Amino acid sequence: MTYQIEFRPAVLKSLKRFPKKDLVRIRKIIEELGQNLPEPSTTKMKGNNSFHKIRTGNYRIIYEIHDFRLVILIVKIGHRKDVYKDL
């Protein structure tokens, strides 16, 4: 079962600031995410929210899973030191 990947507009805007080599790695992880969804119990963020996270180098990809539509919504991508602020 493959999931369609959707991005929030702010995520697409923020991707322009990342170094090229990191963008290649992030893109690869996102493509794999749509094909092979990791076990949701291992990627679920703590707290009362619907967010999941996946690590790629020093960056984190925060996303939501919408099973009823088969969509993964990328909420935020950022450096590990400040990606969790303002969630």
pLDDT of residue 70: 92
pLDDT in tens, 76-85: 999 999 999 8
Determine the 3-state secondary structure of 8 from DSSP: coil
What amino acid occupies position 58?
Answer: N
pLDDT in tens, 6-59: 999 999 999 999 999 999 999 999 999 989 988 888 899 998 999 999 999 999
CATH class of residue range 4-79: alpha beta
- Kindly indicate the confidence band of residue 60, based on its pLDDT and cuts at 50, 70 and 90: very high
Radius of gyration of the chain (CA): 12
Tokens of 38: 């990791």
Determine the 3-state secondary structure of 18 from DSSP: coil
The secondary structure of 28-75 as a DSSP string is HHHHHHHHSPPPHHHHBPSSSS-EEEEEETTEEEEEEEETTTTEEEEE
pLDDT of residue 31: 92
pTM for this prediction: 0.90
